[in-house]
Structures are given as C-alpha cells and as structure tokens.
Amino acid sequence: MMNTINKLLAVCAMGAMFVPSLAMANTTPINACVAQMTAKQLTDKKSAEKVCTCVAKEQSKVTQAQTKELNNWVQSGKDIRTNKTFQNLSKRIKACGDGVKFNK
C-alpha cells in the first residue's frame, strides 16, 4: 500500500509540474492526473477522478507562506520529511486515497 501511495504522490506531482503545458493542450491538471493514473493502471477512472480532485483541492490549500517554508527547508539541506507542514500536507494527500482500490 505504501508503494502505491508513493506512486500516487509522484503521479500527482508530475501533473502539478506540467500545469503550463497542460493549459496549452486545453486540459486541466486533474484530467492529466486521471489520465496518468489510468495509463499506469493504478486504479479505475472513477477512483482516479476522486483521488486527483482531492489532491488538487489539498494542493490549493497550501499558502504562499507554507510553500516558502518548504522551499527554504529543502534549500537548507534539511530532511523535508521532518517538517511539520510537510507531514501535515502528506497526511492529507495520502488520505485522498482512502477507500480507493489500487491495482499496484
């Protein structure tokens, strides 16, 4: 299960990184996330939509101050996994997969 969650986080992060190119393709980041999850056969389309929508909602709650805090933490060489903001965000994003049956 933890491996699947890590894959989920990676897929969602990939979608978030490519937002500018997705806009040019007239596709939303949620649709890109769903497409990636189904292409990688992580779960079915309905479940992928649930997870991707939830992750996007959680990502939208991250403030500029939190983003700056996390960036500073990484740039300082500290282990991001020990940061309370990161731990809270990770917990909320992982919860997006609760109740979803993953294939891998």
72-93 residue pLDDT tens: 999 999 999 999 999 999 999 9
Model confidence, pTM: 0.70
CA distance 50 to 67: 24
Residue 8 is which amino acid?
Answer: L
Range of the domain at 68: 2-95
pLDDT at residue 38, rounded to an integer: 93
Judge whether 97 and 5 are in contact, CB under 8 Å: yes
CA distance 59 to 24: 21
36 assigned to some structural domain = yes
85 assigned to some structural domain = yes
Four-residue CA torsion sign, 13, 102, 56, 18 = positive
- Per-residue model confidence as pLDDT tens digits over 19-63: 444 343 435 889 999 999 999 999 999 999 999 999 989 988 999
- The total domain count for the chain is 1
pLDDT at residue 11, rounded to an integer: 52
63 assigned to some structural domain = yes
28 assigned to some structural domain = yes
100 assigned to some structural domain = no
CA distance 12 to 21: 15
DSSP states along 7-67: HHHHHHHHHHHTHHHHHHTT--HHHHHHHHHHHTTSS-HHHHHHHHHHHHHHHHT--HHHH
pLDDT at residue 25, rounded to an integer: 42
